[in-house]
Amino acid sequence: MKFSEIVQKLDVPSHSSILNTDLDPEITGLAPIDNAPTGTLSYIEGGKFAAMLHKTTASALILPPDEKLQEQAVERGIAWIADTEPRLLFAKAIALFYKPFRPDVGIHPSAVIHPSVQIGRDIYVGPNVVIQAGVKIGNEVCIHPNVVIYPKVEIGDRTTLHANCTIHERSRIGANCVIHSGAVIGAEGFGFVPTSSGWFKMEQSGCTVLEDGVEVGCNSTIDRPAVGETRIAQNTKIDNLVQIGHGCQVGSNCALASQVGLAGGVKVGNNVLLAGQVGIANQAEIGDGAIATAKSGIHNNIEPGAIVSGVPAVSHKLFLKASAIYNRLPEMYQLFKQIQRHSTNK
Amino acid sequence: MKFSEIVQKLDVPSHSSILNTDLDPEITGLAPIDNAPTGTLSYIEGGKFAAMLHKTTASALILPPDEKLQEQAVERGIAWIADTEPRLLFAKAIALFYKPFRPDVGIHPSAVIHPSVQIGRDIYVGPNVVIQAGVKIGNEVCIHPNVVIYPKVEIGDRTTLHANCTIHERSRIGANCVIHSGAVIGAEGFGFVPTSSGWFKMEQSGCTVLEDGVEVGCNSTIDRPAVGETRIAQNTKIDNLVQIGHGCQVGSNCALASQVGLAGGVKVGNNVLLAGQVGIANQAEIGDGAIATAKSGIHNNIEPGAIVSGVPAVSHKLFLKASAIYNRLPEMYQLFKQIQRHSTNK
Amino acid sequence: MKFSEIVQKLDVPSHSSILNTDLDPEITGLAPIDNAPTGTLSYIEGGKFAAMLHKTTASALILPPDEKLQEQAVERGIAWIADTEPRLLFAKAIALFYKPFRPDVGIHPSAVIHPSVQIGRDIYVGPNVVIQAGVKIGNEVCIHPNVVIYPKVEIGDRTTLHANCTIHERSRIGANCVIHSGAVIGAEGFGFVPTSSGWFKMEQSGCTVLEDGVEVGCNSTIDRPAVGETRIAQNTKIDNLVQIGHGCQVGSNCALASQVGLAGGVKVGNNVLLAGQVGIANQAEIGDGAIATAKSGIHNNIEPGAIVSGVPAVSHKLFLKASAIYNRLPEMYQLFKQIQRHSTNK
């Protein structure tokens, strides 16, 4: 596909432009900037990657609105287009070239489906899938091999369940969701009450609900509670190996990075970002739009819009200052001892 | 079921009482206090939830022995019962209403069971289960779909293996255990010896032993060692995504919260609580009844009964003090600099 | 097997020796030093285990070149051999006694294999394995039950895939690799671009490549990127529950301990050691031979050979000093306040 054709299909806002109109290379695919063969389209976003412009062998680039970079591209004979959101444009360009794998409609004869299961039209059910009693499955659902669905689960239209994931009893999964391989949705919450004679198991009679457009990463686990629901609201995206404890309520449009852990009953607002390995203690509430940086440990409620870091988590600004001083503690301690001696000697 | 009937079935100690004897609502189910429809029974434990009493629409409550709360409930026309352990009582109430899913006894024809396998009575083996040579399975065992059991494993009476879990060779799992979906028991420990020509793989000839009443959460992993055993003692409960390294010895009645990681050869006593994302280094020993708060990183031995926090872990009291001062470090550093200047100028 | 026979087979360098030539016990197996029945061979490496020599009931020991330990063994009537690398020698001794489980060659009739799949000689394919279109499988490959392989995957010679793991489309796995149970290779990276109307999903058109000799632990996840490759170089060993984000490049001969998490685009050099629960932020670069201690949080590039600790990670030496002073912060703060008062009063 000619670069000009790609640009046309991307429907870029008019303030962007292709300077080198005489350059219109044939683009055969997309590539990362630091490993882009001739004939590929790549993109630059932010300072770190800008340094790679002088050596990339990409034939075309999506650039930010930065004239210096644009001039450099011209000098290097690279076709380019500029946009305020290069990464978004690149994502759209990928979709022009890449057709994700999707099995043909049909139910494999090795699938074990209970006769009471209700199934929509145009679905795919792969080999060795097990679907138990009372399950309802929408239209155009795609269930990859070796998935197990416990009784009374509901799966919305156009949702994809990847291989080897498990959906436990009574879970309700909305439309346009993706559950990645090995994820476990709606298993029993960790509910044990201490007694003088040991742990008393609290039955987990609740369920897990994923609203429309939720994605759950590989091997992540979202437990169901003793009573009520664990709920993930619309369009929230969850990465791999994330734990969501029983009874958590996660808002819409959040992103939870890998290895995040929410204990029981945590409430997360809308548009919240939790970076990798963040942990949130029982019952804590995280306000809308809050951000927790990687490895934060949150024990208390977090205000809407706050950015927090550290264990226990404090404002990110304070964390940056305090952790900078933390590194000077040995030196500070030495001086402190000197002053102390001085002060005592007087 | 009438509330009075529930109370009767719960067999509550005599010091508890229902004040509003004229209130005896029909209870149709149980619910969390902050989302309790009319007709449900809920409970309050601790201060945070007490604030919800004034707006809950639950028809009955299990309360702590707190007269103020009891009066409030009376004022709001909510039937109640008080107990020193409201959560335990609530757990027992759930068991009156909820019958956990349990498949009917039988072996699905798609299960692949080696002829040498010994199987007890009244067991369930789901579709696509694979049980390899020399495995012994007790009575009333429940093996959900797509479980794989490697050779020479032993599974005790009334144990449940959830869908998509894997039990590796020679593992011995006791009676009344629950292995949740995706968990992997008894896989090879991470044993690589560095040599001048790269890693030398140490074969993992040992096995993993889970004693009676152990639960292992979804996608948790308990490795086997090079020699000897990895052992989890009776009634210890392990949450999701927990890693137990090769050769660990975990005592009885412990609770390991989600995403805890034990390196190799760790010894954990009895009645130990490890909160979420705690990590314990190779060979460390944790005394009976110790508690590690969330995200602690333990490198050394911990005394019995100690409560520890932080990385590296110190006493929880010290951690609370030091982390409070940590937040004042920027301010402290400013004053410190002033004093230093003052001291120098003299 | 006589101890002398074991020693002979181990082909120990000549500077080692068996002192007690009159002792040549029959060895029936291997065991850990703290739980070694009579008739077993064990080993001692490092100070901690040395303390166990006076009470072990092992019949023979592999010792470090430490005369005191050797004398102790003589006194206790324990046969021994000394070597500079006792653990390596013990690993070799295990291999004399232990034959790992390996199923017989053959393809189980319940496996679902697309007709376009190319299969080498002498392979094992277990029950309920699913292999999709265009997959190429080398010689002597061992695919345990319930594994799912998406389309166009390549698996090299002598590689083992353990039960319930999932290999996603276009992944290329080299020779002599081991993928442990529940691991997920090559699933979609976590690529969502924020827009005013919510997350825009970036299709993940790249692939994951594992070079020869790579091991991936149970339930670990190695994502594929939007474009290009996620690549793990030769002989790198990855423990359980590790997350490798989209587009990471990990060098050769590394060891990544359990629950490590690499965000997107991280570059790890050769011979790097990442201890348990380490996290590395997007795009960070870790130099050859660097070591990150347990729970480190790395945001910036790390020099080759550096040893780092803490969050954010600093040199391990500085971390040790600073964290020692951290514990004195309360005391330091008190003194600081006194000095401040003193200074003000003057």
DSSP per residue, B111-161? -EE-TT-EE-SS-EE-TT-EE-TT-EE-TT-EE-TT-EE-TT-EE-TT-EE
Distance in angstroms (rounded) separating the CA atoms of residues B31 and B29: 7
Query: Of A41-50, B128-137, B148-157, which range is least confident?
Result: A41-50
Instruction: Calculate what percentage of chain B has a pLDDT beyond 90.
Output: 82
Running DSSP on this structure, what letter comes out for residue B252? T
Contacts of A330 in chain C (CB under 8 A): 318, 321-322, 325
Q: Write phi, then psi, for B238 (nearest 5 degrees).
A: -120, 130
pLDDT at B46 over 90: no
Please tell me which residue of chain C has the smallest CA distance to A341: C339
3-state secondary structure of B196: coil
Please state the separation of Cα C14 from the chain's center in Å: 31
Distance in angstroms (rounded) separating the CA atoms of residues C195 and B84: 51
Contacts of C227 in chain A (CB under 8 A): 29-32, 42, 94
The pLDDT of residue A271 = 98
Q: What is the pLDDT of residues C201-236, one digit of tens each?
A: 999 999 999 999 999 999 999 999 999 999 999 999
Mean pLDDT for B109-129 is 98
Q: In 10 A of CB B47, how many CB atoms?
A: 9
Return the higher-pLDDT residue of B108 and A47: B108
> What are the structural domain ranges in chain A?
3-97, 106-319
The verdict on A91 touching C (C-beta cutoff 8 Å) is: yes
Residue range A106-319 forms a domain whose CATH class is: mainly beta
Tokens coding A151: 């009784």
Beta bridge partners of C129: none
pLDDT, tens digit only, all 346 positions of chain A: 999 999 989 887 666 666 566 789 999 999 999 899 999 999 998 777 778 898 999 999 999 988 899 999 989 999 999 988 999 999 999 999 999 999 999 999 999 999 999 999 999 999 999 999 999 999 999 999 999 999 999 999 999 999 999 999 999 999 999 999 999 999 999 999 999 999 999 999 999 999 999 999 999 999 999 999 999 999 999 999 999 999 999 999 999 999 999 999 999 999 999 999 999 999 999 999 999 999 999 999 999 999 999 999 999 999 999 998 988 888 888 877 777 777 666 5
Which active-site residues of B does the annotation give? 246
Q: Considering only the beta carbons, identify the residue of C146, C199, C312 that sits closest to A237.
A: C199
Q: Which residues contact B99 (CB under 8 A, 6 or more apart)?
A: none
Mean pLDDT for B319-335 is 87
Tokens coding A318: 């304070």
Running DSSP on this structure, what letter comes out for residue B26? B
pLDDT at B21 over 70: no
Tokens coding B305: 């009964």
**Rounded mean pLDDT for each run of 10 residues along chain C, 346 residues in total:** 91 66 88 94 84 91 91 91 92 96 97 98 98 98 98 98 98 98 98 94 98 98 98 98 98 98 98 98 97 98 98 96 88 77 65
Are A94 and C241 inside 8 Å of each other by CB?
Answer: no
The pLDDT of residue C344 = 62
Q: In 10 A of CB B283, how many CB atoms?
A: 18
The verdict on A128 touching C (C-beta cutoff 8 Å) is: yes
Contacts of B32 in chain A (CB under 8 A): 225, 227-228, 247
The pLDDT of residue A33 = 92
**B199 conformational bin, left if phi > 0, alpha if psi -120 to 50, beta if neither:** beta
Q: Which residues contact B190 (CB under 8 A, 6 or more apart)?
A: B223, B245, B246, B264, C217, C237, C239, C240, C255, C257, C258
Please, which pLDDT band fits residue B265 given cuts at 50, 70 and 90?
A: very high
Distance in angstroms (rounded) separating the CA atoms of residues B304 and B285: 10
Q: Vertex C16, ends C11 and C18: CA angle to 5°?
A: 95
Long-range contacts of B107-115 (CB under 8 A, 24+ apart): B108/A112, B108/B145, B110/A110, B110/A112, B110/C110, B112/C108, B112/C110, B112/C127, B112/C128, B112/C145, B114/B151
Name the neighbours of A, counting chains with at least 3 Cβ pairs within 8 A: B, C
Mean pLDDT for B285-303 is 98
Instruction: Report the half-sphere exposure of A153 (CA within 13 A, side-chain side).
Output: 30
pTM score: 0.96
Complex ipTM, two decimals?
0.96
Minimum distance, in Å, between the CA of residue B219 and any CA atom of chain C = 7
The pLDDT of residue A346 = 54
Four-point Cα dihedral A113, A117, A121, A122, nearest 10: -20
Mean pLDDT for B175-189 is 98
Distance in angstroms (rounded) separating the CA atoms of residues B166 and B152: 13
Q: Which of residues 177-206 of B touch C (CB under 8 A)?
A: 182, 184, 187-188, 190-193, 195, 198-203, 205
Distance in angstroms (rounded) separating the CA atoms of residues C309 and C318: 9
3-state secondary structure of B297: strand
The pLDDT of residue A46 = 75
CATH architecture of B3-97: 3-Layer(aba) Sandwich (3.40)
Contacts of A188 in chain B (CB under 8 A): 180
Q: Write phi, then psi, for B20 (nearest 5 degrees).
A: -80, 75
On the question of a cis peptide bond just before residue A312, with omega within 30 degrees of 0, the verdict is yes
Q: In 10 A of CB C99, how many CB atoms?
A: 9
Are B258 and A261 inside 8 Å of each other by CB?
Answer: yes
Q: Write phi, then psi, for A6 (nearest 5 degrees).
A: -60, -45
Q: Considering only the beta carbons, identify the residue of C150, C281, C332 that sits closest to A294.
A: C281
The verdict on C81 touching A (C-beta cutoff 8 Å) is: no
Q: Considering only the beta carbons, identify the residue of B164, B200, B342 that sits closest to C343.
A: B342
In residues, how long is chain C? 346
SS (H, E, C) chain A: CEHHHHHHHHCCCCCCCCCCCCCCCECCEECCHHHCCCCEEEECCCHHHHCCCCCCCCCEEEECCCHHHHHHHHHCCCEEEECCCHHHHHHHHHHHHCCCCCCCCEECCCCEECCCCEECCCCEECCCCEECCCCEECCCCEECCCCEECCCCEECCCCEECCCCEECCCCEECCCCEECCCCEEEEECCCEEEECCEEEECCCCCEEEECCCCEECCCCEEEECCCCEEEECCCCEECCCCEECCCCEECCCCEECCCCEECCCCEECCCCEECCCCEECCCCEECCCCEECCCCEECCCECCCCEEECCCCEEHHHHHHHHHHHCCHHHHHHHHHHHHHHHHHC
The pLDDT of residue A14 = 63
Mean pLDDT for B272-283 is 98
Tokens coding B176: 């009344």
Distance in angstroms (rounded) separating the CA atoms of residues C196 and C198: 6
Residue B298's Cβ-count burial label (10 Å; 0-12, 13-18, 19+) is buried
The verdict on B128 touching C (C-beta cutoff 8 Å) is: yes
pLDDT at B17 over 70: no
The verdict on C336 touching B (C-beta cutoff 8 Å) is: yes
